[in-house]
Amino acid sequence: MRVFIFLGAPGAGKGTAAAKIAAATGAWHVSTGAMLRDLVRENSPAGIVAKSHIDKGELVPDHILAGMIGELFEAAEKDATFILDGFPRTIAQAEELDGLAAAHGAEIVKTINIEVPEDILLKRLGGRRVCPVCGASFHVESLPPKQPGICDICGNDLVLRDDDKPETVKNRLLVYAEKTAPLTGWYERIGKLARADGSGNADEAARNVAAAMG
Ligand code: AMP
């Protein structure tokens, strides 16, 4: 198994780039945010815990994430390539990932830090609209659906994610700066960090990220 990690602030476009690159290469796009939102929809015990953190813009406890990634590696084909979008988000999760990778013979190939200035992040998060059914993501200005407010893929009504509301966004950016941004130094020190400019449109950003993956 080969693992690529996409790092970047909320709104950096990790999910959009991962979806495009996965569609083009056959890699698996693993969005821990989407997996957690599925747990919330199922109202499972882990989902109830996850919701209480997600709604405040805080991180969900590490053991829930470790369980999800462990199950994923357990079920994966040996020749699978994964793009991890949103995991790890803390140094503790990076250590957990190292252990899981070693246990399952997975190689962490590279971490791509998708870099976007804060004013653009804020604009993106405010205009983001997602499909609550299939998880597709759009933007009212830069990536509008064909029909306003309707998902191109499954035809359901698009919504503003609860955690994209302004108060929650502020906290998510603080949590990112404090807990997730230090991961760039962590991966740089072991020679596994590449940087990609994510400030352009979705196609440009995906091209930059794909080039950084090598
Ligand atoms: P995302 O879709 O990646 O923006 O994630 C949405 C929310 O899910 C985050 O703000 C966190 O509350 C939670 N989340 C996603 N991935 C993780 C993770 N690796 N660790 C903890 N919480 C996470």
Ligand 1 centroid–CA 33 distance in Å is: 4
pLDDT at 92: 95
* Structural domain includes residue 139: yes
- Alpha-carbon distance of 50 to 14, in angstroms, equals 21
Tally of domains in the chain:
1
* Structural domain includes residue 25: yes
- Alpha-carbon distance of 212 to 111, in angstroms, equals 9
- Alpha-carbon distance of 136 to 89, in angstroms, equals 22
143-192 pLDDT, tens digit each: 899 999 999 999 999 999 888 998 899 999 999 999 999 999 999 999 99
CATH number at residue 38: 3.40.50.300
9 lines ligand 1 (CB under 6 A): no
Amino acid at site 143: L
DSSP state letter for 58: P
pLDDT at 142: 84
Structure pTM? Answer: 0.92
3-class secondary-structure state, position 60 = coil
13 lines ligand 1 (CB under 6 A): no
* Structural domain includes residue 169: yes
69-109 pLDDT, tens digit each: 999 999 999 999 999 999 999 999 999 999 999 999 999 99
Q: Using an 8 Å Cβ cutoff, are 192 and 111 in contact?
A: yes
**Cα 81 to chain center, whole Å?**
16
Q: Which domain holds residue 127?
A: 2-206
| Nearest of 163, 177, 145 to residue 37 by alpha carbon | 163
Ligand 1 centroid–CA 50 distance in Å is: 9
Average the pLDDT over 64-72 and give the result.
94
Q: Where are the alpha helices (DSSP H) in 3-61?
A: 14-25, 32-42, 45-54
